[in-house]
Amino acid sequence: MPTQKRDQLETLTAQIEEMWAHQDTLFTHLNETNGWGQKHGPDWTFADVPYHLAYCNRDIVVRGLELGPDYPEAEQELLASLEALNAWNARKFGERPSDQTVAQSLGQLANSRQAIRRITARMNDADLARPCWQPVFMGWGTATNLLMFCLTHDWSEFTQLRIHMGLSEPTPSPAITQAYLGAMLSFFPMFLNSEAANGPFTTVMAFTDPDVGAWTIEVADGAASLSYGAGENPDLVLMQSSEIFEKSFRGIHNPADAIQSGEVQVSNLESLATFGQLFPM
């Protein structure tokens, strides 16, 4: 009987394991410095991060992979807006006991990771196409979508925590950063203001991280598309690091200040205004 291929699966799970190792590096630092009480944005502390990661792993990734196409229709909650996602997170934090310790949250996170390992150990590359429910901005997708959510969500939460801790290391592999940026940039076509799309407009989003590359967002005929690579003769080029992009995307800083400081390099300010009209997200 031929051995079922696992090449794609093992590449993806190795990337997830890398991000877990990076998260643990930060968690170890916080344990050693007793830094869990520090502020993480306006609402969280650092202690909230492992709890958040644990319930996202458990309730989105593990549950989706376990149930696959048998996910009960009555439980197919779709978080299709930021408001819905924020309300879901608030509900999950409301389920946390008031006396829960960081150690308990870290234990829940470790358990959720082990569950993902157990499930993926039974899978092969063919299983990646198995239908699965992914509630965050998607609905029905595949096992690949769930594992990619795990990877990109881990990248984002790790990077935000590292920023708030004032650290520049560890650094994820370029392929992981590339996967995250591609996932986030895919939202731009979804939020196109078609009323402002009066003609063709091409934007190149270029990143300074080694081996990460650039993406092209092209508007034509009232629709927008995203492709990897730098398009020719763009109307606008935005160049920045992935960390600066994350800070803008998550509201950690004011994008206008990043442009003023040169952290985001803009090829044409008039075209930037048009871009803002096209993508008011």
Residues 6+ apart with CB under 8 A from 35: 29, 46, 165
Taking Cα atoms as reference points, which of 62, 31, 246 lies closest to residue 158?
246
Contact between residue 164 and residue 40 where contact means Cβ atoms under 8 Å apart: yes
In the chain, how long is the greatest CA-to-CA distance? 63
- The structural domains of the chain, ordered by start, are 7-172 (1.20.120.450), 184-278 (3.30.1050.10)
pTM confidence score = 0.94
Query: Which residues in the chain come in under a pLDDT of 50?
Result: 1-2
The predicted structure's pLDDT at residue 76: 97
**Per-residue confidence (pLDDT) for residue 1, from 0 to 100:** 38
* b/e 78-104 (16+ beta carbons within 10 angstroms → b): ebeeeeeeeebbeebeeebeeeeebee
**Which H or E run includes 225?**
strand 223-228
CA distance 138 to 226: 17
Name the DSSP class of 78: -
Burial of 154: CB neighbours in 10 Å, binned 0-12, 13-18, 19+: buried
Instruction: Note the pLDDT tens digit of each residue in 78-102.
Output: 999 999 999 999 999 999 999 999 9
The whole-angstrom separation of Cα 142 and Cα 12 is 14
Residue spans of alpha helices (H) in the chain: 7-33, 48-56, 63-67, 82-94, 102-121, 143-165, 174-185, 187-190, 242-249, 255-261, 269-278
Can you give the pLDDT at residue 4? 87
Mean pLDDT over each residue of the chain, to the nearest integer:
96
